[in-house]
Amino acid sequence: MADSANSMGNTLTRINAVGLRQDERRERLALFGLSVPAILLVIVIVAIPVGWLFWLSLFNDEGVLSTYNYTRMLESKSYFRIFRTTFNVSFMTTALCVIIGYPFAYFLAQLPQRWANIGLIAVLLPFWTSLLVRTYAWLVVLQRKGLVNQWGMELGLWDAPLRLVHNMNGTLIGMAHIMLPFLVLPLYGSMRTIDQDYVKAASNLGASPFQAFWNIYLPLSLPGLFAGIVVVFVLCLGFFVTPAVLGGGRIIMVSMKIETIIDLFFNFGTASALGVVLMLLTLLVLFISHKLLRLDRVLGGGGGS
Amino acid sequence: MSWLDSPASDTQIPHRNRLWLYFISGLVIIFLIVPTFIVIPMSFSASQYLEFPPESWDIRWYENYFGSSEWMTATWVSLKAAVITVLITTPIATMAAYGLYVSQLRLSRFIFILLITPMMVPVILIAIGVFFAYTKLKLNNSMIGLVLAHSTLALPMVLIVISAGLRSYDMNQERVARSLGASRLKAFFIVTLPQIRFSVITGALLAFIVSFDEVIVALFITGGKMSTITRSMFLALRDQIDPTIASISTIMVLVTSIALLLAQVFGQSKRK
Amino acid sequence: MPVTDQDNALPITIRSVTKTYGDVYALDEVDLDVQSGEFLTLLGPSGSGKTTLLMVLAGFTRPDHGSVLFGESEVIRMPPHKREVGMVFQNYALFPHMTVAGNIGFPLRLRGIDKKTARERVENALGTVQLGGYGDRRIDQLSGGQMQRVALARAIVFEPRILLMDEPLSALDKKLREHMQIELRHLHEKLGMTTVYVTHDQREALTMSDRVAVINDGKLMQLDSPRQIYDQPASTFVANFIGESTLLPVDHRNGQVSYAGNPIDIKGSESKNGSFLMLRPERLILLSSNNDSAYNTFQGKVKDIVYQGESFLLYVTLIDGTDVAVRSVSQKDLIAAVPEVNSQIVLGLHPDETVLIPDDNE
């Protein structure tokens, strides 16, 4: 049909084609224009300054173009330690969140909707409360004369006050508290969408409650779990406030080091290099998990047969 | 058959076998809630040291807070910045969300990701970058500078929330309105906006909290008279521990709780 | 050919409308004339392009090229809100934050009509769809059928001269749907506006329309009255899509049509050159063994008999192996004469009802 129409000559057949294309373009432009203010904001505040920093990181202290700032990181033991600490803290916090968060999310997902909503308030309330306030609260609770030590000693669980703050312990506890909602919320959401018919089918086919959970429920909850893990890990990598307060200066994360470098030395070259490396690591983690999650979806679709 | 033996789930596992789960969950709830609320009784303690439970009760830390011109100035700065941030971010994010959603180009997805980047780049990097730029532009210690930075930081979350709201909204309503004679603009304001208002309000609330709660960027680009309350609190925590912080924290917790309650109330009535 | 405009209806002229999405032709050079005041149904399977065409008429889909005239005016570049067409969507799309009266009065408010007149017209519209007095109800208080009628009232209250409907009845249950089909038909007769109706349900199309346009793969397959569409399908697609049918390949030799060696009288067929003979189950009758020369006959063996309440189906395998279904109404005399499974049988088709399906290039 279209071929025979073509042979009759373009002007006759492509009626209004030019005008319609113009209308289409105009509409697209207008809609695109709606996002221009947002784009400008992001470019001016984030893209340009960060780009500028990246540029700065390519110059050494004498102002000569070099990779000095980056090679220094690879050679210096202290920088290595900082990165290792950052990864350790992130990894352990994430693990803690999974261990505590998975059973809790599972518990909430099993509750009838009304009770689950009430239970969710327990998760949302800290989520929305100021980060600083919660960090401060942990500072007080975990200190030598704090709540935990008082009760622990009163109950006879230990004799001398435990050192729970201004060290790794306090940092981990505080960060786990901050990060827990970030794990529980996507995980809970994912669990809620699991069709209970799958579990019933497993039971009917002979699976014990544990087997039904392990073979059916757990794999189906993995997408939400992975999403939560990625979010928590990435947030931990760049975290500043809580380790700064609860770590007592002993736990030095990359972000804290960057702040120190600017605050004390005003050395933008070094600080930028550190920041860029942090950002690249973050993007790497996101990229890997993006690939893994895709894979997971594919496996989830075809596996089990 | 007592409750302990009744089935807890579709696998017919009895509650008895799940008590460990309930116990852990109870602990987790305590873990989550207690630190949030513990600042309240702490703030009434008379002692100079952070004490819980307080030995004697006093409201001196509140008096400290309200009586101190520095704390009050900082509070005012934070509030003002947060409100202006909401006023800037919400319309910009709504426009962008709508424009990107309706245009459905492949380019739109790229732009969406671009607008999310403030959430993906480590805040410390943005902070020193903005600090550097502001030093050149002489925007440090200014409300404009602060608000622009906070708006950019809040943008991704507001954009995501409003986009999600648009996705669950039936676009046919806007089409009907247009078929009945309303231009796109009119249709948006009369039909679409009222329907997605829950997302927009949530987004506005988020923008407020992101700005009010923000520490790292404010740490660098504000100071002295322009210091935000979070910056001042953070420095106070790091340098010496002032129980005044407890009273400020209590107020913040109460404000958050009320906001959350309102959000839940509005959410329920809308869902009907 | 466009008829002169009546006061309350406009003809629609569609020329060369084409819409592509990448390599896919959603609409392929569609030419279609809707006469002033007629009820025309766009009928086709999912993905055929019928809804796309409706959206082009409404202005929500911009074609690659083509022309659409409402009466004498070219509207293809006109934005939707200027086209003055009433539209009813599949899911009604009623505004939940307004009352019934608010919804229906919406187009009137946009046109600046004063409150008093508007209120009267809303009440009139409600009366027309038999929901008088429902003005103050909220949308979530309405049943499916009521919502559909409010959507209809909203679409006609500003007296558009063209009405577009996108499968408005598909969300209703069977009984309600059939009732609404008749009501819509009556409404159309009363108001007289040009109506373009989209559906994939052929029964609905045949019931309600003045004419039916069968669409497939973005192309117009046939535009005819329901009767013509059913009795004289213009292609194998239409023959298969509308009603039940079996297509038998026939031979042409020396101007004579024959099947399995037997000559076929094609008196009732408008097409004289098709390659296929169409057998509709309800047009076939069971003949006694004596070959009745008045009918075209087909010999076969009964494979299965299925009782369906108002009728029963016989599955017959013809001599050459083709399976055919025969439908007989469950009337007393006929039931008594039902043959047994595996018995030999002769089917008859009256020449007046014998139809050849034209080949695609005819």
Mutation test of the interface with chain A: which of B124, B147, B171, choosing the one with the most A Cβ atoms within 10 A? B124
Please give the Cα distance from C225 to C231 (Å, whole number).
10
pLDDT at C31: 95
Please give the helix or strand (H or E) that residue C226 lies within, else none: helix C226-231
Q: Which chains would you list as touching A if contact means 3+ CB atom pairs under 8 Å? A: B, C
C195: confidence class by pLDDT, cuts 50, 70, 90:
very high
Q: Is B3 a domain residue?
A: no
CATH of the domain at B263: 1.10.3720.10
Mutation test of the interface with chain B: which of C70, C110, C154, choosing the one with the most B Cβ atoms within 10 A? C110
Neighbouring C-beta atoms of residue B263, cutoff 10 Å: 16
The total number of structural domains that make up chain C: 2
Q: How far is B54 from chain C (nearest CA, A)?
A: 52
Assess C29–A contact: CB distance below 8 Å, yes or no: yes
pLDDT at A176: 94
C84 with C76: CB under 8 angstroms?
Answer: no
Partner-chain contact C97 B177, CB within 8 Å: no
What burial class does residue B212 get, using C-beta atoms within 10 Å of its C-beta: 0-12 exposed, 13-18 middle, 19+ buried?
A: buried
Assess A6–C contact: CB distance below 8 Å, yes or no: no
| Residue whose structure tokens are 């060369």 | C16
One digit per residue, pLDDT tens: chain A, 305 residues? 444 444 444 555 578 888 999 999 899 889 889 999 999 999 999 999 999 998 888 887 777 788 888 888 878 888 889 999 999 999 999 999 999 999 999 999 988 888 898 888 889 888 888 888 888 888 888 887 777 887 788 888 777 777 888 888 889 999 999 999 999 999 998 899 888 888 888 888 888 888 888 888 899 998 889 889 998 999 999 999 999 988 888 889 999 999 999 989 888 888 998 999 999 999 999 888 888 776 555 444 433 33
The residue type found at C97 is: H
Give me the residues of C, 41-70, that contact A with CB < 8 A.
62-67
pLDDT at C290: 57
Q: Is C362 a domain residue?
A: no
pLDDT at B14: 80
Q: What is the mean pLDDT of residues B236-249?
A: 80
Helix axis angle, A113-128 relative to B244-271, nearest 10°? 140
Residue C56 pLDDT greater than 60, yes or no: yes
**C→B interface, C-beta within 8 Å:** 58-60, 79-87, 89, 91, 93-97, 106-107, 110-111, 140, 154-155, 158, 164
Give the nearest chain B residue to A130 (CA atoms). Answer: B213
Q: Do C209 and C82 fall within a single domain?
A: yes
Q: What is the mean pLDDT of residues C96-111?
A: 93
Query: How do beta strands C344-349 and C296-307 pair?
Result: antiparallel
Q: What is the mean pLDDT of residues B188-216?
A: 91
Positive or negative, the Cα torsion across B56, B61, B62, B64? positive
Give the nearest chain A residue to C27 (CA atoms). Answer: A2
Mutation test of the interface with chain C: which of A8, A10, A15, A27, choosing the one with the most C Cβ atoms within 10 A? A15
Phi and psi for C43 in degrees, rounded to 5?
A: -115, 135
pLDDT at B11: 73
> Number of residue pairs across B and C with CB atoms under 8 Å?
66
A172 with A92: CB under 8 angstroms?
Answer: yes
Calculate the dihedral angle through the C-alpha atoms of B33, B35, B36, B39, rounding to the nearest 10 degrees. 140
Calculate the dihedral angle through the C-alpha atoms of A287, A288, A293, A296, rounding to the nearest 10 degrees. 150
Q: Do C275 and C194 fall within a single domain?
A: no
What residue spans of chain B are helical by DSSP H? 19-43, 60-67, 69-103, 106-120, 123-137, 143-167, 172-179, 184-187, 193-195, 197-213, 216-221, 229-239, 244-271
pLDDT at C150: 95
Partner-chain contact A146 B259, CB within 8 Å: no
CATH of the domain at C253: 2.40.50.100
* CB contacts, 8 Å: C219 with chain A: 1
Q: How far is C99 from chain B (nearest CA, A)?
A: 13
Beta-carbon contacts of C222 under 8 Å, excluding residues fewer than 6 positions away, are C212, C213, C214, C229, C233, C234, C235, C238
Partner-chain contact B22 A283, CB within 8 Å: no
Neighbouring C-beta atoms of residue A150, cutoff 10 Å: 16
Buried b (16+ CB within 10 A) or exposed e, B240-252: ebbbbbbbbbbbb
Assess A226–B contact: CB distance below 8 Å, yes or no: no
What residue spans of chain A are helical by DSSP H? 2-6, 10-13, 17-33, 36-42, 48-57, 68-75, 77-110, 113-128, 131-142, 147-154, 168-192, 196-204, 209-212, 218-237, 241-246, 254-260, 268-302
Which residue in the set C93, C111, C158 is minimally distant from B170, CB to CB?
A: C93
The total number of structural domains that make up chain B: 1
Which residue in the set A35, A103, A133 is minimally distant from B252, CB to CB?
A: A133
pLDDT at C333: 63
Beta-carbon contacts of B194 under 8 Å, excluding residues fewer than 6 positions away, are C97
Q: Is B75 a domain residue?
A: yes
Most confident stretch, A285-294, C3-12, C239-248: C239-248
Q: What is the mean pLDDT of residues C125-151?
A: 91
Residue B270 pLDDT greater than 70, yes or no: no
Mutation test of the interface with chain A: which of B12, B20, B25, choosing the one with the most A Cβ atoms within 10 A? B25
Query: How do beta strands C85-88 and C65-70 pair?
Result: unpaired
Which residue in the set B9, B33, B155 is minimally distant from A110, CB to CB?
A: B9
CATH of the domain at C161: 3.40.50.300
Q: How far is B182 from chain C (nearest CA, A)?
A: 5
Partner-chain contact C28 A2, CB within 8 Å: yes
pLDDT at A299: 47
Assess A285–B contact: CB distance below 8 Å, yes or no: no
Give the nearest chain A residue to C19 (CA atoms). Answer: A17
Q: How far is B179 from chain A (nearest CA, A)?
A: 17
Q: What is the mean pLDDT of residues C133-137?
A: 91
Most confident stretch, B11-25, B177-191, C262-276: B177-191
User: Tens digit of pLDDT for each residue in C71-84?
Assistant: 999 999 999 999 99
Q: Do C69 and C171 fall within a single domain?
A: yes
C356 with C250: CB under 8 angstroms?
Answer: yes
Please give the Cα distance from A201 to B76 (Å, whole number).
59
Please give the helix or strand (H or E) that residue C222 lies within, else none: strand C219-224
Neighbouring C-beta atoms of residue B185, cutoff 10 Å: 8
Full residue range of the structural domain in which residue C295 is found: 245-357
**Taking the domain A76-303, which CATH number applies?**
1.10.3720.10
Residue B66 pLDDT greater than 90, yes or no: no
The residue type found at C139 is: I
User: Tens digit of pLDDT for each residue in B31-55?
Assistant: 998 888 888 887 887 776 656 666 7
Beta-carbon contacts of B201 under 8 Å, excluding residues fewer than 6 positions away, are B263, B266
Q: Is B25 a domain residue?
A: no
**Angle value at C-alpha C319, between C314 and C325, nearest 5 degrees:** 20
- The ipTM of this complex is 0.85
Q: Is C104 a domain residue?
A: yes
Please give the Cα distance from B214 to A59 (Å, whole number).
31
Q: Do C58 and C175 fall within a single domain?
A: yes
Assess B79–A contact: CB distance below 8 Å, yes or no: no
C148 with C169: CB under 8 angstroms?
Answer: yes
pLDDT at C116: 94
Closest CA to A113 of A192, A181, A185: A192
B249 with B234: CB under 8 angstroms?
Answer: no
Assess B201–C contact: CB distance below 8 Å, yes or no: no
Please give the Cα distance from B226 to B217 (Å, whole number).
13
Query: How do beta strands C211-216 and C39-43 pair?
Result: parallel
User: Starting from the edge strand earliest in sequence, which strands make up the sheet with C344-349, in order?
Assistant: C285-287, C344-349, C296-307, C311-318, C323-329
Partner-chain contact C77 A13, CB within 8 Å: no
Domain boundaries defined on chain A = 2-56, 76-303
Decide which of C220, C238, C256 is a domain's last residue: C238
* CB contacts, 8 Å: C85 with chain B: 179
Partner-chain contact B120 A283, CB within 8 Å: yes
Partner-chain contact C16 A5, CB within 8 Å: yes
| DSSP summary character for residue B25 | H
Structure token digits, residue C352: 């007046």
* CB contacts, 8 Å: B271 with chain A: none
Full residue range of the structural domain in which residue B78 is found: 69-271
Partner-chain contact C67 A17, CB within 8 Å: no
* CB contacts, 8 Å: A209 with chain B: 9, 11-13, 17
Partner-chain contact B11 A203, CB within 8 Å: yes
Q: How far is A215 from chain B (nearest CA, A)?
A: 13
Beta-carbon contacts of C331 under 8 Å, excluding residues fewer than 6 positions away, are none
Please give the Cα distance from A269 to A60 (Å, whole number).
7
pLDDT at A7: 45
User: Tens digit of pLDDT for each residue in A105-162?
Assistant: 999 998 888 889 888 888 988 888 888 888 888 888 888 777 788 778 888 877 777 7
pLDDT at A300: 43
- Between C345 and B182, name the one with better pLDDT: B182
Please give the Cα distance from A191 to A213 (Å, whole number).
12
pTM here? 0.84
The long-range contacts involving A23-28, CB below 8 angstroms and separated by at least 24 positions, are: A23/C62, A23/C77, A24/C62, A28/B103, A28/B105
Assess A20–B contact: CB distance below 8 Å, yes or no: no
Q: Which of B208-217, B259-268, C210-219, C276-285 has the lowest mean pLDDT?
A: B259-268
Assess A25–C contact: CB distance below 8 Å, yes or no: no
pLDDT at A100: 94
